[in-house]
A = this chain, B = another copy of it.
Amino acid sequence: MSYGHQEFISPFTWRYGSVQMRQIWSEWHKRWLMRRVWLALAGAQQQAGLVTDEQLADLHSHADEVDITRSLELEKETRHDVMAEIRTFAEQCPVGGGIIHWGATSADITDNVDVMRIREAAGVLILRLEELLLRFAERIEQTATLPVMAYSHIQPAEPTTLGYRLSVYAQDLSHNLVDLKELVGNLKGKGFKGAVGSQASFSEMLQDTGMTAAEMERRAMAFLNLAYFPVATQTYTRQQDLGVTNTLASLASTLHKFGLDFRLMQSPAIGEWSEPFAADQVGSSAMPFKRNPIISENICSLARYIGAMPAVAWENAGQAILERSLDDSANRRLFLPGAFIACDEILLKANKLVTGMTIDETAVKRNMDRYGPFAATERLLMALVAAGADRQQAHEWIRQASMRAWQEVKGGRPNPLIEYLRVEKQINERIDPEQLLTLMDASQYVGTAGQRAIEFASQLKRELAESKPRQAADSS
């Protein structure tokens, strides 16, 4: 019952994920939820007149006394985990013990429990993601108009703004949030449908009560506040698990991009971003720039693990033979907790990144000075033509200067392009120095990026603010 490092302890137990998320996926919590489901069933059966008030009350009064030790003992005898749990609970309930699980099949309990665990776990992720998006929105607002070099093919291209770049991640995350909320909103339990989904046992049991099996199911699921599939076999459709893993994997892939970009941006070769560095965390004295992006690397690493999980869920769904085959059971014990705990971890890590990331404006400016002028020559060319120059000739003046300037940059020296252009006779006859400086200021060449970043952040904050009170209201 207690495990130490002499044995294999999964990183999901001690390295990754919040305590809260790990507890959701604990045996204790699972068994506690199983008892909730038995209570719900017994509650509906009590309304049908099958269960007495005393029996139900007895169950309620012992429902929190989860006893895994006893249950595992009994499992050795019964070789059946659900049966062992029933007996454990029943032993605690002298009055109501006999009616626990009445008419139900194991999956009536466990499948509803799994959906409740998924709901709770996804709820945690939603809060994390909203928190993360809020951090992003703040960062975007702070940096909406800060010009930075943008890269296509990992080649400096034209400038954009930092806030706009951050909006790219945030927009993807906001879609991931929509998907996650929709997932939670659409989650459905199995209901109470028995061994093959027909409700035959419940129908038999209820035949003289005036309550139908469908009505009993409705009432029991209402106690759990859980929607349910109208049609199910022994289990709820494993398509639902696939939807869960797809949603988490999509989120993971957004964060993988963020992590990979971060690792590049923190490379001194670009050097504009830096992961938060604890005050007491002394970097290498000899190599003051060497700060390994271990948070981002960790995000990428776990994201890949999450990204592999849908393949397992896909196979479970695609091979769910007839009314149920148990070939999903063992891997669901692995991929459901694993995907959620890993997602929890990378969301927490991403939050740490966005909250604590340092923008090195010196490096931003250096890169802009280094590559921006090349991008800005497009505007100069237009101005020269407007000033009467022959387009082909103007193009050649600029090209010559650019080639010479690039040799300097390549050698590690500052970009002299603006100076070269300024002293080029053909150019300064047509464009006065001040205008030249303005034209060559790449940081002005960012189009609508800044403005759209501002709009995006403000829209995002509005949406987050709207969802908060609703949640508060929901839980009240």
Contact = CB atoms under 8 A, between A and B. Distances in A.
A198 B304 CA distance: 30
Interface in A373-389: 374-375, 377-379, 381-382
A311 B456 CA distance: 30
Given A194-B447, A399-B286, A402-B285, A26 B10 contact: no
A164 B303 CA distance: 31
A360 B198 contact: no
A274 to B, nearest CB: 11
Nearest to A284: B374
Contacts of A370: 412
Interface residues of A, number: 177
A326 B291 CA distance: 13
A334 B454 CA distance: 37
A182 to B, nearest CB: 8
Contact of A308 (B8, B203, B242, B312): B312
A237 interface: yes
Contacts of A472: none
Given A327-B301, A375-B286, A452-B231, A267 B366 contact: no
A11 interface: yes
A428 to B, nearest CB: 19
A414 B4 CA distance: 53
Interface in A316-331: 316-331
Given A160-B323, A447-B202, A266 B154 contact: yes
A76 B319 CA distance: 33
Contact of A318 (B150, B269, B307, B325): B307
Interface stretch (A84-92, A126-134, A252-260, A350-358): A252-260
Contacts of A303: 318
Contacts of A298: 326-327, 329-330
Nearest to A156: B268
A305 interface: yes
A160 B232 CA distance: 11
Given A254-B239, A304-B315, A375-B287, A13 B11 contact: no
Pick the most buried of A176, A199, A381: most chain B CB atoms within 10 A of its CB: A199
Nearest to A267: B154
Interface string A445-476: 11111011101100000000000000000000
B8 A449 contact: no
Contacts of A189: none
B196 A158 contact: yes
Interface in A265-304: 266-271, 278, 281, 285-294, 297-298, 300-304
28 contacts: A1-B4, A8-B26, A10-B10, A11-B330, A150-B196, A150-B323, A152-B233, A153-B324, A154-B267, A155-B292, A157-B287, A159-B196, A165-B323, A172-B239, A198-B449, A200-B446, A201-B378, A257-B317, A268-B409, A285-B395, A285-B402, A286-B381, A286-B402, A288-B403, A292-B326, A307-B314, A308-B311, A319-B319
